[in-house]
Structures are given as structure tokens and as C-alpha cells.
């Protein structure tokens, strides 16, 4: 019996909406990453994008455990000497809560072209409304 590999044209993609209100950041990110990657499907193929589209709403109401709000930092470098910048999780949640979820999910996806294509299927919104009603996303409870 031969192994069946999913082709891009054969993959059926669904749209799901997840409410992030009172969810733990890491637990939410792992479930979203599994859905984006397509590992929940029997046709999962590691070298092709078999995942679904995920819409996350209420990103500003996400929860974290412990002292992460004050102790977790996000770093980036400008490329110049002394150009390292840091931002705490608390500040990033106030400014851009969608970036918090996207960076947590990106840490769980492959770091290549395929992973970047998977991340494009993730839509994160600060409030309870999203512009993807035409795709008829199903509510997903995790």
C-alpha cells in the first residue's frame, strides 16, 4: 500500500473563528499552530500546506500565567551597534495585542517559506468583530 501525499489542489480548507477571551496565551497558540499546519487532518503532509484559516478575536483579552506580564520581553535589533530594542509583554498587549498571538504562533511553525505561508492564514483582531463573515467561519472551541 502506497502512502498518499496531499496535493495543493486536493486540500479542503475551512475557516474557523476562535474567541481568545480569558484563554491562556500558550495553550491557544499551540492549538492554533496545529490547525494552521493541518496536523489535525488525516491528509497531513509535512512538505505541503494542508491547514485551515483561523480568525482569532478578542486578542486584547488574552491571559498569561505567572509574572509573564512584567518579566517576558520581546527583543529586536536595528542592525546598528547598541541598537537592541526591548518591549515587555504588558506594553505590547496594550499597544498591539495581535502581535502577541502572532509571535507566539510563529514560534511553533516551521521557519521557512511553508511556515510563512501558514502564518498568512492566521487573522488576529483586537476586538470581537472581524471582516471575514463572507467566508462563514465556524466557531471553534478548544
> Is 1 a domain residue?
no
2 confidence band (pLDDT: 50, 70, 90): confident
Q: Distance between CA atoms of 51 and 139, rounded to whole angstroms?
A: 16
> Is 26 a domain residue?
yes
Q: Distance between CA atoms of 55 and 49, rounded to whole angstroms?
A: 17
**Stretch 11-39: mean pLDDT, rounded?**
96
The residue ranking higher by pLDDT, 1 or 106, is 106
What is the per-residue burial (b if ≥16 Cβ within 10 Å, else e) of 106-127? bebbeeeeebeebeebbbbbee
The confidence score (pLDDT) of residue 48 equals 92
Please state the domain count of the chain: 1
Q: Is residue 1 scored above 90 in pLDDT?
A: no
> Is 87 a domain residue?
no
**Stretch 54-80: mean pLDDT, rounded?**
97
In order of 44, 108, 122, the CA distances from 111 in angstroms are 18, 9, 16
pTM: 0.93
> Is 82 a domain residue?
no
pLDDT tens digits, residue range 73-110? 999 999 999 999 999 999 999 999 999 999 999 999 99
> Is 8 a domain residue?
no
> Is 46 a domain residue?
yes
The CATH code of the domain that includes 128 is: 3.90.1180.10
Amino acid at each position: 500500500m502506497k502512502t498518499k501525499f496531499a496535493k495543493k489542489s486536493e486540500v479542503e480548507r475551512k475557516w474557523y473563528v476562535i474567541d481568545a477571551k480569558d484563554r491562556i496565551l500558550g495553550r491557544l497558540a499551540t492549538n492554533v499552530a496545529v490547525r494552521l499546519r493541518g496536523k489535525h487532518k488525516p491528509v497531513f503532509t509535512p512538505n505541503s500546506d494542508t491547514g485551515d484559516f483561523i480568525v482569532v478575536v478578542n486578542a486584547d483579552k488574552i491571559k498569561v500565567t505567572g509574572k509573564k506580564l512584567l518579566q517576558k520581553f520581546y527583543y529586536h535589533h536595528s542592525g546598528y551597534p547598541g541598537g537592541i530594542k526591548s518591549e515587555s509583554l504588558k506594553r505590547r498587549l496594550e499597544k498591539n495585542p495581535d502581535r502577541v498571538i502572532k509571535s507566539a504562533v510563529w514560534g511553533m511553525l516551521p521557519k521557512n517559506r511553508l511556515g510563512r505561508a501558514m502564518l498568512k492564514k492566521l487573522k488576529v483582531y483586537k476586538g470581537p468583530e472581524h471582516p471575514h463573515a463572507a467566508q462563514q467561519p465556524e466557531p471553534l472551541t478548544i
